[in-house]
Each structure stands twice: as structure tokens, then as C-alpha cells.
Amino acid sequence: MHPFEKILSVSTEEIELELRGVTEISWSDFWLNPRKLRGSDFLMRWSQGVWSEKRLIDAINKTKEFYAIAYGPSGTAPTDDVRAFELYFERLEAAGLGKIKRPDLLVFKIVDKPFVDKFLTGIGGEEELPFIKETELQELVQKAIIAVECENSLWVAEKMPAYNSPMKPQKRLGGKLGLAKTAVLPTVIIKEEDRMPLSKWQEENKIPIHVWHVFFDRAYGLPFEEAERLVREGLIEPTIQTFQAPGGATTKKAIYKYYYYYAYPLGISNERPNLIPAYIEDKNGHILPYVKFEGGSLNILQDAINVLRSY
């Protein structure tokens, strides 16, 4: 799958928007996206992903104790224009780097900020990171205390039906504590297809990876090593979901949903984002509306500060 389609793939369970009265759009007439963005969900997915990563970076940098930068291909891509976002991935693919899997963020101690900024200036800016071989980035990578894989969900965590529901022995888990398969509660998600690449990156670079999952009202963090232990011990099972790419292709993927009980509280929202109307327009004036995420802020909690201080 092309990296642009992969990054914008949406679980069919999350596709809720529809253009009423529109059965087909002639995407060949659009200047935007030769891989055929088919609906508002994919544009919203792009906006949501950009927003959540920026929110995490801003939150870490506000601590005055730690410093975060975008590192993975999606995090260093353009953030204000979906067409520029797509062309960025075209360049990545043309360079033969489209299938590289790197964590989304690197987190440093604030004392290393001058070094990091100087390094980035020397390579032409943060956006050039995905186009440089990792062997040439070791001086930067080895300064990091952790790397972060980012996920996000369109939910208010504390209003999810099973939020604060106690875990109970589950027959399918051999009597181990858990919740019903249908329970709707905050989880930290890792895709099966990402487990091996993340494990390999962590082993090769000797930098611990954490997964940070952002909801509207709060965020949770989970060390990758802890996530792997939970799977090995049978406490978390894979869930099979169907994902749809912008071009329409669907694939079934296994994902792991780790109850937030296993995670550490990462942050709480002190300002909700604004959901504002946006749209793209083709050369003939045809409009496709979507919702864009703007603003909002997150405060990093002491639990997370303590985790970062431990490295």
C-alpha cells in the first residue's frame, strides 16, 4: 500500500460521515489526490493526526524540562495543506523511503535542545529527517531518552460507557482479569503490522519506545515493552478490524487494544480543540466538506513527568 494511503487508512468502525445525496464523485476531475480521497473521513483523519501530534509536542515542550520533535514521516510532513501532505509522501516514495517505519516523536532532556536545534538546522530542517538514512542520524537519535509512537481517537475518554468499569475474570482469558470484548473504554492501540518494525527499531537503537494515545479530553502512555508483555501473558488479545484506504481498498488488520488501566496517565486537556468547517474544491467548483481540528492544549501530568525522569 502506498504510504499516503497507509497513513490515512481509517477503521470502518470509525467511518461515520457521509455526503447525503451524493452516490459518486468523479475524482478524476480533482486537482487533489490521484489516489482518490473518497470522503470527508479521510480528510478529517489527516487533520486529526496532524492536530494530535502537534498537541503532544507542544505539551512536552511546555514542561521546560523536556523537548520533543517530530521524527516519523507523518509527523514531519506539511500540516496546513492536504495536497502538500500528499506530495510529501510522493517524494518519500520516489526516494525509496516510503516503507521506513520510525517512531513519530523523539523526546530529549531540555539541556540537549541546543544540540538538537543545531543538528536539525544542519540537515535543512525537521522535515528532512525522513529523507536521511538512520545511520546518519545516530548522533541525534542517541540523545533521545524515549521515542514515541502516536495514536489518537475521536472520543471523550471519560464519557465512554465502560470508563471506570472494574476488570473481572474473563473466561476467554483463562480467568485472567479483563473486560468484555464489546466494552467501550479508553485504550492504547498498537497495530500488529507495527509491532515487529517498532521492536526492531527499539532493539537497533537502544532507545525505549512508548505509545501515546490522545483522546479529546486526556491522553495515556504505555511503554512498548509493557505492551509486549501483556500480549505474551495473554492479558490482551488481538482484535480484527477492517481498514479502508482513501482509494477504496479494504484490508483486515489485527490491532491490540490495551485498557487504559495498564497505561500511565499522560495528560489532561485544559482547552478543547475547535472543530471548524473546511473544504476542498475541484477545478469545476465541486465542494467536499470536512471538519478541521484547530487549537486545544494538553497538560502533561506528573505521572508522565516521573516516567520521563526515570530515563
- DSSP reduced 3-state for 101: coil
pLDDT tens, the chain, 311 aa long: 555 556 566 565 554 444 344 444 443 343 444 344 545 566 667 677 778 888 999 999 999 999 999 998 766 666 666 667 677 777 777 766 656 688 999 999 999 999 999 999 999 988 888 888 888 999 999 999 999 999 988 889 999 999 999 999 999 999 999 999 889 999 999 999 899 999 999 999 999 999 999 998 999 999 999 999 999 999 999 988 776 666 666 778 889 999 999 999 999 998 888 888 877 665 566 676 777 778 888 999 999 999 999 99
For the beta sheet containing 66-70, the strands, ordered from the edge strand earlier in sequence to the opposite edge, are: 66-70, 105-109, 146-152, 209-214, 218-223, 264-271, 297-300
- The CATH code of the domain that includes 15 is 3.40.1350.10
User: Domain span at residue 8?
Assistant: 3-309
Q: Terminal CA-to-CA distance of the chain, rounded, Å?
A: 36
* Half-sphere CA count of 215, side-chain side, radius 13 A: 22
pLDDT at residue 33, as a whole number: 44
Q: Which pLDDT value is given to residue 87?
A: 76
C-alpha cell at 173: 482469558
Per the structure block, which three cell numbers stand in for 310?
526515570
Q: How many other CB atoms sit within 10 Å of the CB of residue 140?
A: 22
pLDDT number for residue 39? 52
Cell of 96: 525509496
DSSP-assigned states of every residue in 181-219:
TT----EEEEEHHHHHHHHHHHHHHT--EEEEEE-SSEE
Q: Count the domains in the chain.
A: 1
Q: What is the pLDDT of residue 114?
A: 97
- Whole-number CA gyration radius for the chain: 20
- Among positive and negative, which fits the CA dihedral 96, 146, 232, 169? negative
pLDDT at res. 311: 95
Element (H, E) at 225: helix 224-232
CA 43 vs. chain centroid, Å, equals: 15
Reduced to 3 states, what is the DSSP secondary structure of residue 5? helix
Q: Which three cell numbers stand for residue 61?
A: 515542550
pTM, two decimal places: 0.82
pLDDT at 291: 76
